[in-house]
Amino acid sequence: MSVRTHFPSAKEPDSHFFFTVSRGGRQKRFALRPGALYSLAAGLPLLGAIYLGATAYLFFRDDMVAALMARQARQQYAYEDRLAAMRLQLDRVTSRQLLDQDSFEGKVQHLIAREAQLETRTAIVAALGERIGVSAETTASLPPSPAQPAARTASDRRRAPVATGGPETKANGFAPMPQPMDDLPFKADKPRPDGFELRGRSTERSQPLRSGALSLEPDRIVAEAADADMPTSARIELIAASLDRIERRQVTALAALAEPAKRKAEQLESVIAATGLSAARLKPPASAKPAVGGPFIPADVDAKGTPFERQLATVQGAFASLDRIRRVLPYVPVRKPLSGHLEVTSTFGYRSDPFLGRPALHAGLDMRAETGTPARATAGGKVVTAGWTGGYGNMVEIEHGNGLSTRYGHLSAISVTDGQTVAAGDVIGRVGSTGRSTGPHLHYEVRIDDEATDPSRFVKAAQLLASKD
């Protein structure tokens, strides 16, 4: 008996899915668990998607790579553009700071240059003041800096001598050479602008520049400039304003110098005019020129330039006239030949001859004096005659240039020699009564182009010169 007849056939599991594959007469069955079937059902679309994706990638790979590279390039360019813009902005800020710094340094350098210019101008004004007789110690329009003593004792106030271009007067009792005027309003020490130290200067040069007389409110300005809270630009403006005030004061000082120079020149010209001569036609001799020299460097003075330059041109014109007349005056016989009061015993012109009693021309002035009284040259010049000369007796004749000459007759003694150069006031002899003389006196003549002229005009001019001095 067969086993199969006694046992039932095997049952197929109900937890599987069965698939039968038939081919001809053959069949083959496959059993799949539900999980595997589900996994297969889910994996097939995924595999399809992967396949399609791979296919698309292979097909569109070059385009995708190009697109990615283009995107990356755009991002890089955008980054570089932004970086360049930031760099440009930084450069602009840096440039602006450099420009501001250059502008500030330029302003400081400009102030330093102006300070040096003002110091130079102050020296010019001081030199001009000394030329008309204002000493370096005198203070008026431009008082000294507060750093120096504001007050000076009388012993410190010494006047500098004035160069007149001619010999000095050596006789105290005679009309002196033109001397400095006492009412001149100027000469001061160098002014210093108000403010604070300027950058770029040495310790000595960078001291605060101050001048109480050249600023309206120096203490306030110094206090404001020293304020740490004040902006630098405000400090620069404060100092610039102080320099402007100093410059205006210098122009005012120049104007104050021009008037005394013009007035002094007019006074000296009036002395020459009193003799009947024209000051414009007189020329100083070569010996009157001072011993100076050097290369010619034109002065930077523009008559149409700044107010200071315009005023300086005016002052220099006035000083040129004054210097010229001062160099001429020592060689014009406008001093007295005798000291003290002149006792004229015979004037210039026609008179009765004291020896013959007939009308005769008296070519000079006779001035009574005791024998031995010093006779002095009335102007500088060169002795052309010193000895016995006919009716003059012992006579000295001096040529002064410009056709002017003087004669001193009847001398008891002669103190000079032919060719000797004398100055106004030098003793040229002693009063006597030599030659055609009735008593001790000085015969004084003034000649123009060797023609006798009235000496009384020159004596009056000497008195006028003495009164103006």
Is the pLDDT at 327 greater than 50? The verdict is yes
Q: Binning pLDDT at 50, 70 and 90, where does residue 302 land? A: low
What is the structure's pLDDT at 331?
A: 93
Domain ranges of the chain: 107-151+163-287+307-331, 343-468
For 22, the enclosing helix (H) or strand (E) is strand 17-23
* Closest among 193, 221, 214 to 116, alpha carbons compared: 193
DSSP state of 200: T
The dihedrals phi and psi of 384, each to the nearest 5 degrees, come to -105, -20
Contact between 238 and 225 (Cβ < 8 Å): yes
Please report how the helices 218-225 and 232-274 are oriented relative to each other, as an axis angle in degrees rounded to 10.
150
Question: Model pTM greater than 0.75?
Answer: no
Q: Which amino acid is at 458?
A: F
- Give the C-alpha separation, 459 to 327, whole Å: 20
Q: Over the stretch 88-128, which tens digit does the pLDDT of each residue have? A: 888 787 777 766 666 767 777 877 887 888 888 888 888 87
Would you tell me which CATH number, out of the four given (2.70.70.10, 2.60.40.1080, 1.10.10.10, 3.60.21.10), belongs to the domain 343-468?
2.70.70.10
- Average pLDDT of the residues in 191-198: 38
What is the full DSSP assignment across 221-276?
A: HHHHHT-TTS-HHHHHHHHHHHHHHHHHHHHHHHHHHHHHHHHHHHHHHHHHHHTT
Q: Over the stretch 329-379, which tens digit does the pLDDT of each residue have? A: 999 999 999 998 899 999 888 888 888 878 888 889 999 999 999 999 999
Percent of the chain scoring above 90 in pLDDT: 23
